[in-house]
Structure 1
Amino acid sequence: MLDIPFLLIAVVVIALIFDFTNGAHDSANAIATIVSTKVLSPQVAVVMAASLNLGGAFLGTAVAHTIGSGIVSPEMVAGSQGLVLSALFGAIVWNLLTWYLGLPSSSSHALIGGLIGAAIAYGGFDAPNYPSIAEKILLPLVLSPLAGFLCGYLLMVSLSWMLIRAHPTKVNHAFKKLQIVSSAFMATSHGLNDAQKTMGIITLALFTFHQIPEMAVPLWVKLSCALAMGLGTATGGWKIVKTMGHKIFKLEPIHGFAAETAAALVITGASAFGAPISTTHTISTAVIGVGASKRLSAVRWGVAGNLVMAWVLTIPAAAVMGAICFEVLSLLGLS
């Protein structure tokens, strides 16, 4: 009979729930524009996004390795069985608090912050891998939204020049079809980056509980995380779809194509580099970039200010929450 600690089972279950909610929340990243421009019905769009999120999760493990071994040294925290659970609790607490206060927040950054805080609470300030955090976390955190904005802006400007003499009706009809391709690309890139974050967390937990000899992602972890995210995406997220599709900038099919393609290129590039980025921030800034290419007044710039607030607050605040959760678990004898 397998001797699997109850605490490890709890970590895996909570991590998969986190992955499920991530998929449910971030389904809007892939399908908001094709729903808002009426290219596909919400039901068809969700099925497509869920399937491609599932497929994207199997395309690499670079991000999983960054989460599992690039933020904290696995060897340094191998003796702490409550560390990963504290990181998850810290991220969940911060997500719930920001949800209650109506503040924008990245679940990905909250998870990273929770892990950093729990590691410091366990091993002191030497526990985090600061060079890797700077290179793989902080730098992409700043650059990915900027890249999303720039790519969205440049791609939309390029398309506008290429199609300056084209008839608007023909352009609209063509990009309705092309937007299905760009949305599929976005859904695949989302699965490639976001599902791997939970893979890394579960793999780190398995290592700290001495269930695996090295930081390699087991096949069952890949499968379970991919399924959790795919099922989460299938639940929808219609309020977020409405916000992404209408409140930032009124989208037409060509705008949706440009925003999705730009964001997917940035996310795929970050995934190849092993950088866990916020897909929500990236698609949001890509939409802003597309809107700004038309005219600056077309964009509701307050959204950009909210994103900046999220960049600044989320990781340190979630780190504090993760550290507090670790101390609580220590008092309960579960660290």
Structure 2
Amino acid sequence: MDVSFMYFIQQMLTNPALLVTTLLTLGVIFVNGWTDAPNAIATCVTTRCMRVRSAIIMAAVFNFLGVFIMTQLNASVASTISNMVDFGGNTHEALIALCAALFSIVVYSVAASMFGIPTSESHSLIAGLTGAAIAIQNGIGGVNMDEWVKVLYGLVASLAIGFAMGWVVCKLVTVVCAGLDRRRTNGFFKYAQIVGAAAMSFMHGAQDGQKFIGVLFLGMAFCSGQSSVAGVIIPVWLMLLCSTIMGLGTSVGGERIIKSVGQDMVRLEKFQGFSADLSSALCLLLMTVLGIPVSTTHTKTSAIMGVGAVKRLSAINFGVVKDMMLTWVFTFPGCGLISFVMAKLFMFVF
């Protein structure tokens, strides 16, 4: 399989399905950087450790580095996404179905926003790929359950481990700093939280960037007549392309999201913000190394809830938990069904 950049450009110019797949994938990566990445810096901004624009620039840089560096060190998340479904041996139909899966993410996201249903690009991607695979294989034989079960692990782990780590880290910080002067510790945690936000941005890129690298890589394989990417090394130029697009998306901003995550859920002090950033970054690192795709938004929000629980459970806005549950309830069947229908339609038309 030729994975050179020039071959990719040639194929894109001669294959409309690959061109559409590439544009849709890069578009979703851009939107992910725009809407998801601000979660990484939300606590840092709302505790006044950094100004919004400076934090966004920092997040863009570390999102870029996260995608690029982590994919070279450990591309297991990208492999999980690539191997999660089987589109069959007809690579022409497989490419069309992949295009339909990405298109369904756009359709679902727009429809969900109109009805006020919370969404997750990560879950939409997984649901879209699954629906398209079922459509092209006419059954669940298109789903690799050994890989798909990692998604189920991720749903539970992103909440349970994120919450537990948030509680433990914040409790340790509280005990260690109990007898120290608050003004001096605030000065330390101001800079510590900036480091934590940078780590969280890095891990956001490592998790979410790899998911979409896996999709684009799969599209390249289909175009080359291969039904899988097993044993093929992800090229550096693809890492650079996806990380750059995510960094550009992050640079657009997301001040409303920053306010929602950093202020509306739990009112945080600087040491609490540091605890939330560090614990969520550690949780994401663990999930990335294990090759388990998770929602970075859900991981961060569960860590913030764990931090809030150290003080008292009533400090948590449990409406956020309801939104996360609604995301699971609607996204997997909703986006999966749209993808199934779109894949059938696309294969009939094209």
TM-score range, shorter chain: over 0.9
**What residue is the counterpart of 2:236 in the other structure?**
219
Identity of aligned residues (%): 34
| Greater Cα shift, 273-282 or 214-223 | 214-223
Q: Distance in 2 between matches of 1:49 and 1:164?
A: 31
Q: How does 1:28-177 map to 2 (within 5 A)?
A: 28-58=38-68, 59-60=70-71, 61-69=75-83, 71-73=84-86, 76=89, 78-80=91-93, 81-124=95-138, 125-134=140-149, 136-177=150-191
TM-score by length of 1: 0.95
Q: Distance in 2 between matches of 1:213 and 1:307?
A: 34
Task: Count how many residue pairs are aligned between Structure 1 and Structure 2.
Answer: 331
TM-score by length of 2: 0.91
The structural deviation recorded for 1:77 is 6.0
Q: Distance in 2 between matches of 1:144 and 1:53?
A: 19
The structural deviation recorded for 1:174 is 1.1
Q: Deviations over 1:78-106 (max 9, x none)?
A: 34221111111111222112211212221
Q: Deviations over 1:234-273 (max 9, x none)?
A: 1111100010110000111111100011111111111111
SS of equivalent residue, structure 1 residue 178? helix
| Greater Cα shift, 2-11 or 181-190 | 2-11
Evaluate the alpha carbon distance shift between residue 77 and residue 49 of structure 1 in structure 2; reply closer, same or farther with a 3 A threshold: farther
**What residue is the counterpart of 2:4 in the other structure?**
none
Is contact 1:31–1:45 with CA below 8 Å preserved after alignment? yes
Q: Deviations over 1:200-222 (max 9, x none)?
A: 01011111122679613222221
SS of equivalent residue, structure 1 residue 264? helix
Q: Report the AA paired with residue 43 of structure 1.
A: R
SS of equivalent residue, structure 1 residue 51? helix
Is contact 1:8–1:206 with CA below 8 Å preserved after alignment? yes
Q: Report the AA paired with residue 170 of structure 2.
A: M
The gaps in structure 1 that reach 5 residues or longer are none
The gaps in structure 2 that reach 5 residues or longer are 1-6
Q: Report the AA paired with residue 55 of structure 1.
A: L
How large is the RMSD of aligned CA atoms in angstroms? Answer: 1.6
The structural deviation recorded for 1:115 is 0.3
Q: Distance in 1 between matches of 2:348 and 2:304?
A: 46
The structural deviation recorded for 1:64 is 1.0
**1:262 maps onto 2:262 in alignment:** no
Q: Deviations over 1:125-145 (max 9, x none)?
A: 2111012101x2111122112
Q: Distance in 2 between matches of 1:259 and 1:330?
A: 46
**What residue is the counterpart of 2:31 in the other structure?**
21
Evaluate the alpha carbon distance shift between residue 77 and residue 158 of structure 1 in structure 2; reply closer, same or farther with a 3 A threshold: farther
Is contact 1:74–1:207 with CA below 8 Å preserved after alignment? no
Q: How does 1:176-215 map to 2 (within 5 A)?
A: 176-210=190-224, 215=229
The structural deviation recorded for 1:186 is 0.3
